[in-house]
Structure 1
Amino acid sequence: MTGRPPLIGIYPGTFDPITLGHSDIIQRATKVVDHLVVAVANNAGKGPLFSPEERVALIQEDLEALDINGATVEVRAFDTLLMHFAQEVGARVILRGLRAVSDFEYEFQMACMNTRMNPEIETVFLTASERQQFISSRFVKEIGSLGGDIRSFVSSRVAERLQARFDAQGDGGRSHAGGTAS
């Protein structure tokens, strides 16, 4: 033990819903930091399917199945600037997942802006695992809402919650999250 304070990191996102790609980044991030805050952005402008509280609960449920490498993980919603939230929780690292080269330009610009606001907080990019590179929450919602099989992209609990949400919205027979993609 070196006596250094625990390294706190933040993995921010909307997580609407959490995907297996997000879970992969969470699990791998716990190899880098001692304490990880999964920060659920309250971004109404993106028209989320789930409320921030529902997204926090879904992530907490999915965490039960992860090996978090001896780190501690907490899930919190936030509705401030990320850098303000990072200061509030004492984070020194922001972790971001990259699926493809196309993600890099946007993420790089964001990292530069964040560094400009607080040069004490570093951004670390984790590339998506090969099996998760193409997964996005947006595609999962679209496939699920049209009756496609999303079970290889999200946990079974998330698939069930998505199906229930689509059914409640009146998508009826078109939404079969456990069905087969056509």
Structure 2
Amino acid sequence: MQNKEKTNNGGTYKKAIYSGTFDPITNGHMDIVRRATSIFEEVIVAVAKSERKNPMFSHEQRVNFAKEATKDLEKVTVVGFDILLVELATQMKINTIIRGLRAVSDFEYELQMGYANSSINKDLETLYLMPTLKNAFVSSTIVRELIMFNGSFCHLVPKEVLKCM
């Protein structure tokens, strides 16, 4: 499978999926989304239902947060999903997955997932992007902790998401 599809005018374009639970979507996630749009002509932000992770926010809320945060990015589409990411990529005819790496601790898990995905679909590639230094520490886990303990988190999430909360 190639990462190209014909458009109506006979040209080609490339798509990638950036998936996650996004509980909630953070400035670190948005850093990766923006950087992915500079590489790909279309980026699908795929919000996983992930009930086994016991998210703080409902799937519907998380999809809405992602839509609001990306509404001004022309190259971005947001979808919710509750199937294997490999299946979603196959259904959407996409063979590139974007993953963010903040630290070495992320690498081992992400590498295993990348290998597992390519064992199911050998044409699937995983591209790892690092956030900028100012967002390297930002995670949804940190944001949720701050929310639970009434800490300041406004500087860690997009302003559009704050409005939704």
1:57 alignment partner, one of 64, 82, 91: 64
Q: Give CA deviations for 1:131-181 in whole Å, capped at 9, x if unaligned.
A: 01111101101112211110111123433544xxxxxxxxxxxxxxxxxxx
Distance 1:6 1:123 in 2: 18
Contact 1:150 1:159 in 2 (8 A): no
SS at match of 1:152: helix
Q: Give CA deviations for 1:18-46 in whole Å, capped at 9, x if unaligned.
A: 00000110000111111111010011011
**1:165 matched residue in structure 2:** none
**1:85 matched residue in structure 2:** 88
**2:35 matched residue in structure 1:** 28
1:137 alignment partner, one of 136, 140, 160: 140
Distance 2:49 2:38 in 1: 27
RMSD over equivalenced CA pairs, Å = 1.5
**1:126 matched residue in structure 2:** 129
SS at match of 2:13: coil
Matches within 5 A, 1:7-46: 7-46=14-53
SS at match of 2:156: coil
TM-score (norm 2): 0.89
Q: Which runs of 4+ in 1 moved over 6 A?
A: none
Higher relative contact order (CA 8 A, sep 6+): 2
**2:149 matched residue in structure 1:** 146
- The number of residue pairs the alignment matches comes to 156
Using the TM superposition, give the Cα deviation of residue 4 of structure 1 relative to its aligned residue in structure 2, in angstroms. 5.7
SS at match of 1:37: strand
Contact 2:68 2:161 in 1 (8 A): no
Identity percentage of aligned residues: 41
SS at match of 1:86: helix
Matches within 5 A, 1:151-170: 151-162=154-165
Contact 1:8 1:91 in 2 (8 A): yes
Q: Give CA deviations for 1:77-111 in whole Å, capped at 9, x if unaligned.
A: 11111100001111120000000011000000100
Using the TM superposition, give the Cα deviation of residue 53 of structure 1 relative to its aligned residue in structure 2, in angstroms. 1.6
SS at match of 2:55: coil
Larger Rg: 1
Using the TM superposition, give the Cα deviation of residue 72 of structure 1 relative to its aligned residue in structure 2, in angstroms. 2.1
Give the residue type in structure 2 aligned to 1:40: V
Distance 2:11 2:130 in 1: 27
The gaps in structure 1 that reach 5 residues or longer are 163-182
TM-score (norm 1): 0.81
Give the residue type in structure 1 aligned to 2:54: G
